[in-house]
Amino acid sequence: MNAMKLKLIYPQEKIKEPILSKLCKSFEVDINIRKANVQEKVGWLELELTGKEEEIEKAIQWLSQQGIDVSPIEGQVFVE
Amino acid sequence: MAKVRALKCKECGAEYKVEPLHVCEFCFGPLEIVYDYEEIKKNISREKIEKGPKSLWRYVDLLPVENPTVGLSAGFTPLTKAENLGKLLGLNNLYIKDDSVNHPTLSFKDRVVAVALSKAKEFGFDTAACASTGNLANSVAAHAASASMKCYVFIPSNLETNKIIGSLVFNPTVVAVDGNYDDVNRLSSEIANEFGWAFVNINVRPFYSEGSKTLAYEVAEQLGWRIPDVVVAPLASGSLYTKIWKGFNELREVGLVDRNLPRMLGAQAEGCSPIYQAFKEGRDFIKPVKPNTIAKSIAIGNPADGPYAVKVAKESRGDIQIATDEEVIEGIKLLAKTEGIFTETAGGTTIAVLKKFVEAGLIGKDEVVVAYITGNGYKTMEVLEGKLNKLIHIKPSLIEFKQKVTGKK
């Protein structure tokens, strides 16, 4: 089992959608939310995604396709 | 008693043993070094520091390293009184802290990497890593070479190799990842969690970032053990800015200085200003942005320490301002022509924003002001192409020289 700590940021139009519920039904991953703040215009949450490596990869890809900003908890580490 | 007591979560306060950890297991908040200042106070004095090495290691009592072994010449860069620039701006006590001449790779990164890899050696790591094409990669590759550590540098595969010649020369393994910046970020985090490598700004980040505190210590000592009234510094991840603040706080805590703390003024480029936006909108979280600026060394769209930088700006009665790309270029040129210091775009941003703060009346003419110049212009000369004076072409003739150059007949 692998685990990945992620920060998800939802744009306003996605806040009302059950994204995480769909994620768990579509991929063999578990989520554990550690911190969240959902407001009228923007929502973010920090969670741990556990599962097999390829399922995690697919889940992250799917989240990005839904318009969710997915980043590692460390933020941007690449520096140009 | 040890000077370092623990690692502590900046969010929930949970404490951890001093290990290569960087996020809280419970709330995922970042971890920070906790010192035993009472213990440090017993061992530290101005005299002891002044007798120490002419490097950042003269402040080893306030750093999370027991025996420095890497980057022994980093730090202790010049603090120059900027008479010409000060006169132009109407400031009587303007100083430039010049990390464009840091050793060995000419940016402030030599401070943080010296601390990160000294600590990594203490932890027993034999491999250093980072994701960068710029100052960070230069510094990690150079320090790893001198410390006989293996080194991995990660970059997106669509970047030209000549961007990293300044790192390749030190012979690291460069991994070009098929994907965009976000993919490189995510992969780097996964690698840091799985491999036993010291990924400088991920798993040894709490130690790495402490190196920036020395920018505060040095300035205070170079001013004759005095804290400046105003500090102007660039904001990228927010780490440098918050650690300068922490450095000044610590100097007071251990009794080396007794003045009030400075107002912390921060500088971002308009094309990548998530910290400025959060500050102005009164948000306590950062909305990531896609960077679009020539100031690439500070173009961090999703800055990990952004919320803490916002907090420092508020707590210090400071402010954050932005500069356009044109203003950044003008900032570089202004510092060069007035003080003879050639900085890169981060420094140009700092100078441009300093000018804006002065024009807005936020800095008093007699206040002691320190602007932090964090990198060297010789690394990114391409940004100035077509922006400088044209050459004057003449034949090898004294008459032509007089006519075309001096205007005399």
- Three-state SS string over chain B comes to CCCEEEEEECCCCCEECCCCCCECCCCCCEEEEEECHHHHHHHCCHHHHHCCCCCHHHHHHHCCCCCCCCCCCCCCCCEEECHHHHHHHCCCEEEEEEHHHCCCCCECHHHHHHHHHHHHHHHCCCEEEEEECCHHHHHHHHHHHHCCCEEEEEEECCCCHHHHHHHHCCCCEEEEECCCHHHHHHHHHHHHHHCCCEECCCCCHHHHHHHHHHHHHHHHHHCCCCCCCEEEEECCCCHHHHHHHHHHHHHHHCCCCCCCCCEEEEEEECCECHHHHHHHHCCCCCCCCCCCCCCHHHCCCCCCCHHHHHHHHHHCCCEEEEECHHHHHHHHHHHHHHHCCCECHHHHHHHHHHHHHHHCCCCCCCCEEEEEECEEHHHCHHHHCCCCCCCCCCCCCHHHHHHHHHCCC
Which chain A residues contact residue B23 at CB under 8 A? 5, 73-74
Label residue B283 by pLDDT band (50, 70, 90): confident
For chains A and B, CB pairs below 8 A equal 99
B185/A69 CB distance under 8 A: no
Query: By percentage, how much of chain B surpasses pLDDT 70?
Result: 100
* Rounded CA separation B94/B145 (Å): 37
* Rounded CA separation B241/B313 (Å): 9
Q: Is the pLDDT of residue B162 over 80?
A: no
| DSSP state at residue A12 | G
Exposure string for B8-32, b = 16+ CB within 10 A, e = fewer: bbbbeeeeeebebbbbbeeebbbbb
Q: What is the per-residue pLDDT for A70?
A: 92
Burial bucket for residue B401 (CB in 10 Å: 0-12, 13-18, 19+): middle
Minimum-distance CB partner of A72 among B134, B155, B186: B186
ipTM metric = 0.90
As given in the structure block, the two tokens for residue A9 are 């940021």
- Read off the pLDDT of each residue in B167-171 and give the average, rounded to a whole number: 97
Q: Tokens 């040894």 map to which residue?
A: B204
Between residues B156 and B240, the one the model is more confident about: B240
pLDDT in tens, B296-305: 999 999 999 9
Instruction: Check: CB of residue A9 under 8 Å from CB of residue B278.
Output: no
Label residue B108 by pLDDT band (50, 70, 90): very high
Q: What is the per-residue pLDDT for B313?
A: 98
Which chain A residues contact residue B185 at CB under 8 A? 71-72, 74-78
Exposure string for A40-64, b = 16+ CB within 10 A, e = fewer: eebbbbbbbbbbeeebbbbbbebbe
Q: What is the per-residue pLDDT for B63?
A: 98
pLDDT in tens, B19-71: 999 999 999 999 999 999 999 999 999 999 999 999 999 999 999 999 999 99
Question: Mutate which of B25, B273, B302 to test chain A, going by most A C-beta atoms within 10 A?
Answer: B302
pLDDT in tens, B383-401: 999 999 999 999 999 999 9
A75/B186 CB distance under 8 A: no
B303/A4 CB distance under 8 A: no
Domain segments of chain A: what residues?
Answer: 1-39
pLDDT in tens, A19-76: 999 999 999 999 999 999 988 878 899 999 999 999 999 999 999 999 999 999 999 9
In this structure, the number of other CB atoms found within 10 A of the CB of residue B162 comes to 8
Averaged confidence pLDDT in chain B:
96
pLDDT in tens, B366-387: 999 999 999 999 999 999 999 9
* Rounded CA separation B72/B292 (Å): 36
In this structure, the number of other CB atoms found within 10 A of the CB of residue B285 comes to 15
Which chain A residues contact residue B299 at CB under 8 A? 80
Q: Is the pLDDT of residue B1 over 70?
A: no
**Chain A nearest CA to B389, separation (Å):** 28
- Read off the pLDDT of each residue in B106-114 and give the average, rounded to a whole number: 98
Query: Residue B152: beta bridge partners?
Result: B129, B173
Minimum-distance CB partner of B27 among A34, A74, A78: A34
Report if pTM > 0.80: yes
Burial bucket for residue B142 (CB in 10 Å: 0-12, 13-18, 19+): buried
pLDDT in tens, B314-324: 999 999 999 99
Contact residues for B104 (Cβ-Cβ < 8 A; gap 6+) = B71, B73, B74, B110, B139, B142, B143, B146
* Rounded CA separation B43/B48 (Å): 9
